[in-house]
Amino acid sequence: MTLIEHSTTPPPRIAGSPGTPPAPTPESRSAARRSVVVRSAAAVLGLAATTAVVVAARQPGTDLSSQGAVTLMVFVLAVWLWIFTSIDDTYVALGAATVLVLTGTMDTGALFSTLGEETIWLLLAAFVIAAGVRASGLANRGAAFVITGATTPRQLVHLTTLALVVTTFAVPSTSGRAALALPVFLALRQVLAGRPALVKALAILFPSVILLSAVGSFLGAGAHLITSQILETATGSSFDFATWLLLGLPLALVASHLCAEIVLAMFTTRPERDRRLRINAADLEQHSDTPVTGPLTVAESRAALLLGAVVVLWCTEPLHGLHPALVALIGALVAASPSYGSVDLAKGLKTVPWSLLLFMAATLALGNALVSTGAARWLAGGALEPIRSLGAAAAPLFVVLVVLLSTVAHLVIQSRSARSAVLIPIVIALSPAVGVEPMAAAFASTAAAGFCHTLTSSAKPVAMFAAVEGVETYSAKDLLHLSTLLAPVNAALVLVFSFLVWPLLGMPLFP
């Protein structure tokens, strides 16, 4: 037997070798000092703002209770940590909820009961169903079927847009849809290797449409569930799957196809758009892990049938009375069943973003505390006087401000769910006082918050497609260029739907 000895002392690193930290330069040391100064200044401003809020809340004549003041202080600190620090959003939300419990502002049961909310179970089961659809290969085949019908770049971007909108009902998160769509983009990139401008347009189109089309489904983003739950706590009314579909899908289709036209105009030339193309399913299959030609496999047929049945049952809840969370749970059990499903339950559960579910539970607790302690109403009261002074113009101006604020909020709060947890309680509290329906204002805010394209750090899909290993896609400058036109167009579109379209679909803006 040969004895092999391993040294426990690592060999000395050679300067400049891989893995050796670079020597600090005067520029890097200066940048580090500036970062410390900025963070320190932000900390001082955050603490000062928190103190000012609490002192103002405790002034004689205010109608804010001590519990409301504590909730407000914790809420402001949580928002400040989300904006100015790199601490994980879920950690901040859980910590804030824990502080509310420890201070007696919120019951222990109120915190932990949010994990048992139907919306949490709905999302959990939907992720297992999505894992089954992904494992079956149905998504790649469907994308190939749609895209291969394109003969011009304009047809290609619009067919791609349509396919991405459909994925809203298959995968309940924007980052999950981005992960599902990335292999399709890489296959298209190989097929279109000789047309770099079109490849770049597709690279920026994929995440842009994924984000804008999320509003088409109740499960399109966790922010939708948070909005609905906070709305139910405050008003007793909430959204169901069919109502959200009726209101959100038209906006998702119009916004996504407008985005496709904007991307095509900005990143391709007229000769490039006039140049014909031909994409064969066989060419895509060469760069795909699953077959995209031939008849549907048994797994694909079963996944399509299951997904269709689940969506139909969600949309027909008033007819059968089954809660959407129960329908999703049944669907998850079928998707993971030994004889029918295409994914093992353990593997399906591994795809569930547990951090997102915990974040949703904690932010739901924070949002409910803002409503139940009167903190949201007190904050709204401070903003009412200048709005009321506008008279008849107060209501429409309020809606415009809500949409604009929700559109730009991604620049300071990156998490879409966190933005809803911050904005929705205040929007709901303000709406009745200015003569706006809370449900309509909350929906408009959530729809406008779907725009988060300005920076690569603004949303996970944008970051994923910007940093594909070995593939040049788009730069931060390209995103800024796109946002200069897409942001006002999307905000205007939400306002048009708020004032003209959604009232016709049964959601009036004014009582």
Average pLDDT per run of 10 along the chain, which is 511 residues long?
Answer: 42 41 46 46 49 49 73 85 82 90 87 83 87 80 76 89 88 82 81 84 91 90 87 85 92 95 91 82 65 75 88 85 88 88 85 85 85 78 62 81 89 80 85 88 92 80 79 82 92 95 92 78
Per-chain mean pLDDT for the chain: 80
What pTM value is reported for the model?
0.80
> Long-range contacts of range 117-122, CB-CB < 8 Å, 24 or more positions apart?
117/229, 117/361, 117/364, 118/323, 118/324, 118/325, 119/225, 119/226, 119/228, 119/229, 119/325, 119/360, 119/364, 120/357, 120/360, 120/361, 121/325, 121/328, 121/329, 122/219, 122/225, 122/324, 122/325, 122/328
Is 125 inside any structural domain? yes
Is 139 inside any structural domain? yes
Is 443 inside any structural domain? no
Report the alpha-carbon distance of residue 412 to residue 455 in Å, rounded.
11
pLDDT tens readout for residues 132-156: 888 887 777 777 777 777 788 899 8
Phi, psi dihedral angles at 63 (to 5 degrees): -105, 25
CA angle 388, 227, 212 (to 5 degrees): 100
pLDDT over 70, % of the chain: 82
**Full domain range(s) for residue 224:** 118-354
Report the alpha-carbon distance of residue 24 to residue 405 in Å, rounded.
41
Task: Collect all residues with Cβ–Cβ distance below 8 Å to 482 and sequence separation of at least 6.
Answer: 204, 208, 262, 263, 266, 453
Looking at residue 286, its pLDDT comes to 66
The three-class DSSP label of residue 289 is coil
DSSP codes, 431-463:
HHHHT--HHHHHHHHHHHTT---SSTTS-HHHH
Is 418 inside any structural domain? no
Looking at residue 505, its pLDDT comes to 92
Is 368 inside any structural domain? no
The secondary structure of residue 87, as a DSSP letter, is S
How many distinct structural domains can be found in the chain? 1
Is 307 inside any structural domain? yes
Is 184 inside any structural domain? yes
Is 428 inside any structural domain? no
